[in-house]
Amino acid sequence: MKGRSRSYSQKVTARARCEGSSTRSPRPASRLQFLDGLRGVAVTLVLVQHVGERAFPAVAELTHSSLLLGQLGVMVFFLCSGFIIPASLERERPGEGRGRRFASFWRGRFFRLFPLYWLSLAVAGWLAYRGTYSPAAPMSGGDWLANGVMFQMLVGVPNALVAYWTLAFELLFYAGLSVLFVLGLNRRSVELSLAASAVCLALALGAGPLLGAAPPTGAFCLATMLTGTVFHRWHSGEIGLSRLVLCVVAALGSGTALLAAATLGAPQPPEAPQFLAMLTAWLGAYAVFCAGVALRHRRVPAALSRLGTISYSVYLMQALVLAAVPALSSAVGSAVVWVGATLVVSELTYRFVERPAIALGRRRDTVAVRPAAAAQLPVPVRPPAPAPVPVRIAGPVPLPRDAAVARRALSA
């Protein structure tokens, strides 16, 4: 008995150890956690570009002639937006029709983007008033107010911060995809991506002869976001790999032609990025994004994931930190201070502005959806009461013996 109890306890202990080790094993990575990692890489490239060219002239020369790191990061952001926005817009919840999903999407985008954007605009205005910051182009009071809509660049108003140009393209992409969603065409991502690539090619071939001007390279930004939607369709199993490869090759081929027509077909100012720097940035962005998608099942390092979480704050705050914090006597010291201050400020703006605004938008969305869901619940119907079952009596009812005697006596 003692030997049996000892062997039994050893088995139980071994089983407990196995169960304990299994509970300590790392959980599998989230399906879309790799997007945070890609955003972290993207915002790091943008930060290195802006801090590096400010602190080290050699970095500015290298990036503008060979590889524009900021442009590479921005294109990775565009691919991430193209990937995630269809999933956000098409998410189905009980009680939500197409119209309510449309409203829910824009409500979420508003609370996600505008509160922090308005804060950055207010700080930029305050720094400009103090004389520590000057926009790239002269701005009137009306221009500052027009910047509040985020798409001011599309109507000819200069941006208060250079970084705002990407947000205008983001809004344009959201609007276009929303229209396609209302029309029921949003899932034709392959056709839309190929059409955008065709537009880029048409601009490359026809803008100069027909319009007498360089073609707008912003068309490639929209084509890139639409190609990001194709990655989403492939990831969700809606299309095959061959169609994804076709769209990527078409986008990069037409983008190269568009860039060549824009930069090589007309004289460029000395400060403008060169053809090679832009091309390597565009090709590099697609390479980085493809690598991130290929490694999507791997766990993203915590620091990189956190940087991706606060990437919107970092993207908006870095220009303000560079304007507000003066340079030190040491270039390396200046770079360290700028990067550290940007990360600290971005963490604070994420915790106290960005995250509360997102939470508020979700609460408003829940309040808006709940009445609609309740209105569509089925009303319980009480089943009708069962009809009484008739009882048939076959023949006369037999009487008790005393009753039968009394009946014969009466009849006599």
Question: Residue 409 has what pLDDT?
Answer: 46
Given this model, what pLDDT does residue 63 score? Answer: 93
Q: What is the reported pLDDT for 276?
A: 95
With a cut of 70, which residues of the chain have pLDDT below it?
A: 1-31, 94-95, 367-412
The pLDDT value recorded for residue 380 is 55
pLDDT of residue 15: 45
Residue 214's pLDDT is 86
| pLDDT at position 269 | 78
pLDDT tens-digit profile of 26-60? 333 455 899 999 999 999 999 999 999 999 999 99
Exposure class string for 4-29: b at 16+ Cβ within 10 A, else e: eeeeeeeeeeeeeeeeeeeeeeeeeb
DSSP 30-80: PTTHHHHHHHHHHHHHHHHHHHHHHH-HHHHHHHHHT--HHHHHHHHHHHH
Give the global pTM: 0.83
Residue 116, pLDDT score? 98
- 182 to each of 101, 172, 229, how far by Cα in Å? 10, 16, 17
pLDDT of residue 335: 97
Residue 343 to residue 349: CA distance in whole angstroms: 10
Cα separation of 84 and 77, whole Å?
Answer: 11
103 with 110: CB under 8 angstroms?
Answer: no
Task: Identify the pLDDT of residue 212.
Answer: 74
- Predicted local confidence at residue 26, as pLDDT: 37
Predicted pLDDT of residue 152:
95
The answer to whether residues 255 and 200 touch, using CB atoms and an 8 Å cutoff, is: yes
Structure confidence at residue 30 (pLDDT): 54
b/e 180-207 (16+ beta carbons within 10 angstroms → b):
bbeeeebbebbebbbebbebbbbbbeeb
**Burial letters 395-406, b for 16+ CB under 10 A, else e:** eeeeeeeeeeee
Q: Which pLDDT score, from 0 to 100, does residue 339 have?
A: 98
- Exposed / middle / buried, residue 290 (Cβ in 10 Å: 0-12, 13-18, 19+): middle
